[in-house]
């Protein structure tokens, strides 16, 4: 089955700096890659996603890049703010596997004011 | 956007009892619902996938007789934790998708504490 690795597990940045989180996946058939933000005790919130036919997608301060050949994708947050502090999860899914999501281990991001 | 609700938001029960958690899609028809378990400071682990009107598909290592899943309608799936034990204490989250949506919409989660 699919395996998703996420790095780093924790990330501390100064407010205004950029944060980058990287994920690798194992199943070359994976075709959908969402990123979720989860605050303590809350549900995961979709912040951005990308499909396998696209190499990059941007939404204001958030961007995701996908390298299908290397089977890795990354989340970039620019101009970080204290409210960006949360746990971020990457995930991958394939239609063949019923679109079920396989999650990375998560990255705890702390933005210091 | 698509809204998914869960009930209850938290529950405390005694060891050996059963607990039922409901997951509802409020403004769309969920052909597929997923149940996850999340232990503190860990990632979401998929427990099972349920399609409306058919038996759930359980992930490896998840006991189907302990975690009973019913998806009787396009807007409701239930997870029953039978004979709960303290090690079943966790955050249970459902998600739902319909035929035309690639992504999943998550419920707010249910925190289960078994004493």
Note the pLDDT tens digit of each residue in B19-69.
Answer: 999 999 998 888 899 999 999 999 999 999 998 888 899 999 999 999 999
**Cβ separation B93–A44 shorter than 8 A:** yes
How many helices (H) and strands (E) in chain B? Answer: 0, 11
Q: What is the pLDDT of residue A70?
A: 95
Length of chain A: 113
Interface probe with B: pick from A44, A50, A52, A64, most Cβ of B within 10 Å: A44
DSSP annotation of B37 reads E
> Could you count the other beta carbons within 10 Å of the beta carbon of residue B110?
23
From chain B, pick out residues whose CB is under 8 angstroms from the CB of A9: none
**Res. B100 pLDDT band, cuts 50 70 90:** confident
Q: B22: which 2 tokens?
A: 């409901």
Interface of A with B (CB under 8 A): 32, 34, 36, 41-46, 49, 51, 89, 93, 98-106
pLDDT at B31: 86
Q: Is A97 helix (H, G, I), strand (E, B) or coil?
A: helix
Partner-chain residue, chosen from A34, A93, A105, that has the shortest CB–CB distance to B43: A105
pLDDT at A97 over 80: no
Tell me if B103 and A106 make a contact (CB, 8 A cut-off): no
Residue A86 has what pLDDT? 98
Mean pLDDT of the region A1-24: 96
What is the β-pairing status of strands B110-114 and B10-13?
parallel
- CB-closest option in B32, B44, B97 to A44: B44
pLDDT value at residue A84: 97
Shortest distance, CA A27 to any CA of chain B (angstroms): 17
Q: What is the pLDDT of residue B54?
A: 85
Which residue did the predictor score with more confidence, B107 or B2? B107
Widest pairwise Cα distance in chain B: 41
Q: What's the average model confidence in pLDDT over B104-111?
A: 95
Cis peptide before A8 (omega within 30 of 0): yes
DSSP reduced 3-state for B39: coil
Over residues B9-20, the pLDDT tens digits come to 999 999 999 999
Structure confidence by residue, pLDDT tens digits, A31-85 = 999 999 999 999 999 999 999 888 999 999 999 999 999 999 999 999 999 999 9
């Amino acid at each position: 089955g699919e395996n998703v690795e996420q790095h780093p597990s924790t990330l501390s940045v100064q407010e205004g700096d950029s944060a980058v989180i990287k994920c690798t996946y194992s199943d070359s058939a994976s075709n959908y890659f969402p990123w979720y933000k989860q605050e303590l005790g809350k549900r995961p919130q979709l912040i951005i996603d990308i499909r396998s036919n696209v190499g990059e997608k941007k939404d204001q301060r958030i961007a995701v890049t996908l390298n299908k050949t290397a089977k890795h994708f990354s989340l970039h947050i620019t101009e970080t703010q204290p409210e960006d502090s949360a746990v971020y999860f990457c995930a991958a899914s394939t239609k063949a596997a019923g679109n079920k999501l396989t999650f990375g281990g998560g990255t705890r991001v702390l933005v210091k004011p | 956007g698509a809204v998914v609700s869960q009930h209850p938001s938290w529950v405390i029960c005694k060891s050996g009892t059963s607990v039922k958690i409901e997951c509802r899609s409020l403004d769309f028809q969920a052909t597929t619902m997923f149940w996850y378990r999340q232990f503190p400071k860990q990632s979401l682990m998929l427990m099972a996938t349920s399609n409306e009107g058919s038996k759930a598909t359980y992930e490896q290592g998840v006991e189907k007789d302990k975690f009973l899943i019913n998806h009787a309608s396009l807007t409701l799936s239930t997870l029953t934790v039978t004979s709960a034990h303290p090690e079943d204490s966790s955050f249970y989250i459902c998600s739902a998708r319909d035929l035309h949506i690639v992504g999943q919409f998550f419920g707010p989660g249910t925190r289960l504490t078994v004493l």
